[in-house]
Structure 1
């Protein structure tokens, strides 16, 4: 039986939350209220899309008077909840976060915080001045096995940390879905790939560095393969019309239609039918008319498909991060951390620590059991522990239950912006001491 130790036997009143953005992330986090109605209640919703808004409204039985197509309606009202879950598109994070923090709502904010360093700073400053808690959804810190890495480092299991190597394999069809055809394909419409996809990972590296300031950053990367010049001669502009679709690993027919034919209607199929329940007819129509049916060589994508970031921290600690689209594994991170007394490796499933003195390997795992549907895909286990920690923090008025506070999160975001500057300007960026 899963036992949650964050809640005392004498429970406080449930935390009332408003969901701003009723898409995949907002729906996922708010499902916590279905599992634990004595801990969380969804009392308000804001989303401009009728289908998504009404679907979430029905699930949580939210009154019409608290359901809106614009979050600004909530900001204009007197405060009627404890916290807000902001799960809007990346470029629409800053305004609701600032406005609703000023109203006194505690903020759970989907990552990245915002798409500019200045907006990230404004969010953090507003939350601090308003006396509200801010939890940015760096969910990997809440993954039980990944969290174990930090515990082992802090216990001295490998001595002083000397070097960190970390890999994010995005996954070939995941990248095609999200970063070629989807919402994060274009910098002007969303943000650059390192921020949108890998701020998780630089946040982890910053976390493992244990408070040591990053002093230098370099980065290299580009958009590979998914370019117009790589389109096969006989390929059509849409997969449904393509005579050589069967020869293409990135075919929308394979990624979406083949799944729905097998009864698989979760991510990524669920994303492409925002106004209906996914079935053969709705998915086919989405591929015929929508962005997800386009040839991957005929999209308006411009974000990096592969990027490396090299970092030097105080005390000589170095770190190397790699993000690459062209992998079998989807987001199953790989990590090696080299210390003065041992070596730690993580293969996406378990941790191994090799001790230099004894020449022995010790394996470490963690309990990955979570209630409900949280653990069924993606980083669902980590999602559960994140929303559980945030709810407990608000319920008990204890921000220490949030693993990455506003200042730490801002520092790791600044590291991402510094890395992208280094890539674009083809130079080593010396991090500003005043901002770290």
Structure 2
């Protein structure tokens, strides 16, 4: 049912960390469009500062998503309405499924941070729950929503350069970004989160699939491993040191926690990544305490990480078109994707900031092809080249109008790109080419069988 145009869309933020903050900024800049009215966040200092910043009534500030859910249930029972129009789910990956299922059941519109869930079966279950709820659903595939990506996609889908035949796409994660997030951080251990192709690069696979749509992936192969961030690669000169602050060769190490967190803060830079490793102000004292006692101060060769630090994925689509994707930790660029799109009559070469279009049919001769470089403006600003705020703007518009189409995707589309990611990881682990259709068929049959067995057990 369309939202009333007379008032702003109301939002409940579940998880007030980096991603919750990234999406919520839109409400501050556009109070007539949306408003944050409730939050759930376990960290006390983060919770208090977020509530104050968005002027959230103290009765709608919760320590946990379960408490917010219970309060919502009570409100629905007593006054017949939800606490907000929509929820933004920005908790840890393994929590996405239970939180989404719970709030979908109460009829909330949902924007969920990537990935959907940490197993293929749970992604399928999430799709079913959202479809049953019939509400607006957005996924944190922010790359789709930047001005750069939207302009590239418009050219691709217009077929102005002919048919898209091949894509070569690189994600340079960044050497210290990988050490922060995927070695020391929340996404370093698969049991605690999931594999790195899913947690880091599912939106890269998603945007590749979007470029080729309505064609779908039919076969996938993948290779990759944890090459460097392991104990066997630890420099002998580091000796028995397990923390950067006690390491004799800390100054020589590219992955020094002191260089990544403490040195920038001492120079006044309190943004990411230092800002996300403390609850409260990222000052020298707090950062030093974290580095002495927590995982972010550990030697990268002594950490409990086990996810791939490099991986390649090869895709074949239903008409024979192909794509290759590379994710690699060892880069100076930080997530500034490099992309080449090859068409029957031209090509696009881009870097997330600008792209150059060449039409083979234009030019005075074979050696004088005409190229045009485009640098899309960041109208909204924000992270991921404007993709963060572009996504929340589209989501709010979808809720306001009751039109899922405003997001340019739906839960089924989101599931399909996730299935491609899981198929790629299956290929890497099992050393075989995976048939994407068979992979999906087997997964759906397995979930249906398991759910029936669970239902029979009562």
Selected match of 2:156 from 148, 153, 161: 153
Selected match of 1:29 from 2, 23, 33: 23
CA–CA separation in structure 2 for the residues paired with 1:251 and 1:346: 32
Structure 1 or 2: more helix by fraction = 2
Alignment-derived partner of residue 201 in structure 2: 198
CA–CA separation in structure 1 for the residues paired with 2:385 and 2:359: 32
Q: Which moved more, 1:62-71 or 1:411-420?
A: 62-71
1:365: Cα distance to partner?
A: 2.6
1:11: Cα distance to partner?
A: 4.8
Alignment-derived partner of residue 319 in structure 1: 323
CA–CA separation in structure 1 for the residues paired with 2:359 and 2:62: 57
Conserved? CA contact 1:195–1:417, under 8 Å: yes
- After superposition, the Cα gap between the structure-2 partners of 1:27 and 1:141, relative to the gap in structure 1 and judged at 3 Å, is same
Selected match of 2:268 from 263, 287, 300: 263
Selected match of 2:33 from 17, 29, 39: 39
1:99: Cα distance to partner?
A: 0.8
Alignment-derived partner of residue 4 in structure 1: none
Alignment-derived partner of residue 7 in structure 1: none
Conserved? CA contact 2:23–2:388, under 8 Å: yes
- Tell me how large the CA RMSD over aligned residues is: 1.4
Where in structure 2 are the equivalents of 1:178-197 lying within 5 Å?
178-197=181-200
CA–CA separation in structure 2 for the residues paired with 1:347 and 1:367: 14
Residue 339 (structure 1) aligned with residue 339 (structure 2): no
Alignment-derived partner of residue 289 in structure 1: 293
1:267: Cα distance to partner?
A: 0.5
Residue 91 (structure 1) aligned with residue 91 (structure 2): no
Selected match of 1:172 from 151, 170, 175: 175
CA–CA separation in structure 1 for the residues paired with 2:29 and 2:157: 33
Alignment-derived partner of residue 53 in structure 2: 59
Conserved? CA contact 1:337–1:343, under 8 Å: yes
1:6-39 Cα shifts (integer Å, max 9, x gaps): xxxx953101110111111112211221111111
1:433: Cα distance to partner?
A: 5.6
1:165: Cα distance to partner?
A: 0.5
- When the two structures are aligned, how many residues end up with a matched partner? 421
CA–CA separation in structure 2 for the residues paired with 1:177 and 1:269: 10
Selected match of 2:229 from 217, 221, 226: 226
Conserved? CA contact 1:13–1:395, under 8 Å: no
Alignment-derived partner of residue 388 in structure 2: 383
Conserved? CA contact 2:147–2:385, under 8 Å: no
TM-score (norm 2): 0.90
Selected match of 1:124 from 117, 121, 127: 127
CA–CA separation in structure 2 for the residues paired with 1:133 and 1:348: 28
Residue 303 (structure 1) aligned with residue 307 (structure 2): yes
SS in 1 for 2:39: strand
Residue 137 (structure 1) aligned with residue 137 (structure 2): no
Conserved? CA contact 1:221–1:304, under 8 Å: yes
Alignment-derived partner of residue 414 in structure 1: 419
1:275-303 Cα shifts (integer Å, max 9, x gaps): 22011111111111111011111000000
Where in structure 2 are the equivalents of 1:234-245 lying within 5 Å?
234-235=237-238, 236-245=241-250
Conserved? CA contact 1:83–1:106, under 8 Å: yes
1:76-96 Cα shifts (integer Å, max 9, x gaps): 322211000000000010001
User: Which runs of 5 or more residues in structure 2 are unaligned?
Assistant: 77-81, 363-368, 442-458
SS in 2 for 1:366: coil
TM-score (norm 1): 0.94
